[in-house]
Chain A
Amino acid sequence: MLAGEIIKHNKTGSLSEEQADNIRRVILPYPTEIWQATVQERSNLFPAAYNTLKAAIIGFLSAIGIGLGLAILLSSSKALKRSLYPWILVIQTIPIIILAPIIAIWLKQGAHSVAVVSFLISFFPIVANTTMGLTSTDKNLLELFAVSKASMLQEILFLRFPYALPHFLSGVKIAAVLAPIGAIAGDIFVGTSAGGQGGIGFLAILYKGDVNTPALYACAALACLMGFLFVGLVNYVQWLLLHNWHESSLDGEA
């Protein structure tokens, strides 16, 4: 819309060349301008990116740990699943906009709360996928273990876990995308800039106030980069663990 307006104004000559260019910069800066803004703002952007990365890593790792733990609990008994699962869903269905103030009241604003939001946004896919994997173990293989007199622990370690691994990893991959998003959203809702703790989300709000679009795009680029980094790492681990045997990682031949 706005772009159309500008072009119209420009055609009628009611805007000077420079005015038009300024407006263009606000709406759609050139990549070079984004790069310039990144360089200019690097003393703000990089510490902020570091803070966000830290929160996302903590959130992501907790999502893996707690998600896995919950999945083991849920898959170990039907009763436990029925009583626990609805509550996990409750947490997952409350929009973060509503959940965030509650977290802020309980835990106070700050980096730790940002990590909590990152965790809350990313743990569910791990729970859901891993539970699915742990409870869909091949029946014939379970019987094989029964005939072999395997103990409960052996069954879990040597059969249920490896069988659930591909499911678990696909949950982790979704979490890898969500954890940085959660950290940035958390930054906006429960973060604080005090003591240089502000993250990318916080900066984005500042840049929005300054109408510094190139810097906003720089924030977006950093967020993307973080997501790619996380997913890339998970892809690599997935390849390491699955490429020998799992259909998803087989490369056609061989």
Chain B
Amino acid sequence: MLTPFQKLLYNGFGSRKVLVAASGPCLRTFDYSSGHIISRWSYLDLDAPAGNKSSDLHDEDDAPPRKKHKIDSGNASDSVSTEILIENGSGRQKPRRNGFAAPCITHLTATADGRHVVIISGEDKAIRVLEMTEEGGLHQFSKRVLPKRPSALTLTPEDQILCADKFGDVYSMPLLGQTIEKASNVDMQDQEPPIDELFKPAATSKTVHTKHNLRILELQQKQKKTKKASTTELQFEHNLILGHVSLLTDIASVRLQTPEGRSRTYILTSDRDEHIRVSRSVPQAHIIENFCLGHEQFVNKIHVPSWQPGTLISGGGDDYLLVWDWRTGTIRDKLDLKSLLAQSQTNTGETTTFPISVSGIWSVETMSGSGSIIIACEKMNGLFTFALSSEGQIIIGQSIFKQLSHNVLDVAIVQHEQRIVVSLDIMHRPGSGEITAAHDHSSFVVVLHLQSDGTWEEMKELIAVNTHAQQTKEVLTESLDPTVWSGVFYNAEHLRKRGPLADAEEEL
């Protein structure tokens, strides 16, 4: 049996329709129509033994992409999975701190044309661009390692990668950029002063300083003698384009038409400190246009529906969702998720005691120029769905809550069919993070179809995905301990600051 898919993506590439599923450090692709497995990809296979802690910025893994594990069965419909097991490495790989042989995939997205899939793995700080083969398999095109752990990822309409890190900095880089000798210089690139200058005594004897500062100064002078300058420059093209002083949780790139018919692109960023920022896009990302202020807790997800690009939906640690006119920063509507959830649970007899964390916001556009908004909360076995008026008001239809058998991990949007594929956590008890014995017949994914009345109907499809996931004899290199997986599946609630002490930490 496989482990649940913490990330799921629908990717149309040419005539190929592919479901990309991340389970721990592994990606699998399935044929969307038949549900049959196409390929399995893992950087375990590519990377040097992962045992050595790779905190190094210049992880050397930039050799030309190798075609490994090409297990494309050519014609996906000739059923039987043709998986090959990892033949190298695994024996030499020591388990990491997180219990996995390799860092888990935390973000998964694809270019509009479907040709490239971009993934982030948190622990090794790497952004990888993978190329989709004709058959729907994947192979690595590039790997770039950032100085800090990436925490958010998006692609601009021009297919630039925007990624943010847990210290609040946002970088842009070309999708197909390769390792180059020297990082190119652009306006906003934050440069540390040259090393010489850094290690020049930073104060004169006449500087007023505390004992503490004096000690650091002495240390610094000592260091100057012993420490070899370690360059912090990244070996690929990248630009620091903006920054929050807070963990950056989500990022969106939005193109808007002005009334005069000109097109402007913006970058929207959210952070752990309640903020949503609206900046111009590169090369003017140093200009902040606006803030959307109204959350009282961390913001975890922001989403702009394709048919209503002036509207933003945001959620995180608050009990409510907010709908914004993000250009002016005005709140258009507010939805109290907690009371809705309480209502839905009085029907099932369960009660929620844990706080709400919004873990995902998506939308599906309909023909009529509107659409359905889809909300997932951490450890919640169902989805909230509603429509939006053109003024950004929430319209609740027949039912706002779609109950599912297990907690939702991710949602893949199949826009042209007005369907979604929901990835479920069969390892943990519905509605909680408690471990449960997974049943052989539990569904890893379910397909929902948007009905004309705005409700979502469960379809009997992708059965082959579930059958494969349940029955594969594949030898897993991933840890099977469900408590470890809990950390992979549920990480929004960790963003909540606890008590007044959290604030006091700032009092230096």
The judgment on whether A and B are partners is no
